[in-house]
Amino acid sequence: MTRLANAIMTGLLQAHEQLPNEAELAKMLGVSHITVREALNTLRAKELIYTSRGRHGGSFVCDNIENRAHNYHPLHLLSSDYLLDLGEMHCAVLAHSARLAAKRMSQTEHLTFSSFIDEFQQASSAESRAQADMRCLLFLSASSQSARLANCELTLQTEWASFIALLYGDDTLHQQCVQLYQELLEALSHQDTEAAAKAVSDLILFLAEQLVDCKLNTTASSSGRTL
């Protein structure tokens, strides 16, 4: 339920967008049908989704989420320490992935990674930027040729990606991340293991700090509404 709520609250799932059916959600999330049904009931109770019956029925994302569900905002429910710890864990996985990728990435993989960074640079919406960012990081971990690192990154992305969508509406922040990705690409092209690790670490820690700032602003906004 938490992953679905995060995706809704951060805009990865748009208003009136249809969710996959229960069987598909159970398979995607690796849980039972009963767990999915309970999660959907909870989301309906919180007015994050609604259900439509009939031939074209299903579960859909509600509109005006910001006005009606501010207290369910994922960053509002997490501590700053939790976000920084998540960033540090993510940084550890990707820094080692970058070191290995610098030594193991083929020329074809390098060109593919470069094309993914170009897509990230050209993305114009918060959602498309977050998706392109996730694609880049997953590819980097896969290029390490370590199944454990790739699996760790995939697990981290289920939580990380929905938070990052909150940040990528900021064009200046997006351009700063593009620059860090370009530094990472340059380090990989020269097989500079430590420069590659530093570039991806700088990227993740920068985003983690921005998430903490966003969380503090969200908390301040919430406090202001209760005065």
Instruction: Write down the mean pLDDT value for the chain.
Output: 87
The phi-psi region of residue 115 (left if phi > 0; otherwise alpha if psi is between -120 and 50; otherwise beta) is: alpha
Contacts of 172 (CB under 8 A, 6+ apart): none
Given CATH 1.20.120.530, say whether it is the number of domain 77-226: yes
Q: Tell me, what's the pLDDT at 226?
A: 47
How many angstroms separate the most distant Cα atoms in the chain?
Answer: 58
Q: Tell me, what's the pLDDT at 186?
A: 97
Low-confidence ranges of the chain (pLDDT < 50): 69, 225-227
User: What is the pTM (predicted TM-score) of this model?
Assistant: 0.72
> What's the pLDDT tens digit per position in 12-27?
677 888 998 888 888 8
Q: What is the 3-state secondary structure (H, E, C) of 143-155?
A: HCCCHHHHHHHHH
User: What is the three-class DSSP state of 14?
Assistant: coil
Q: Domain locations in the chain?
A: 2-72, 77-226
Tokens in use for 201? Answer: 């670490």
Under CATH, which number does the domain 2-72 receive? 1.10.10.10
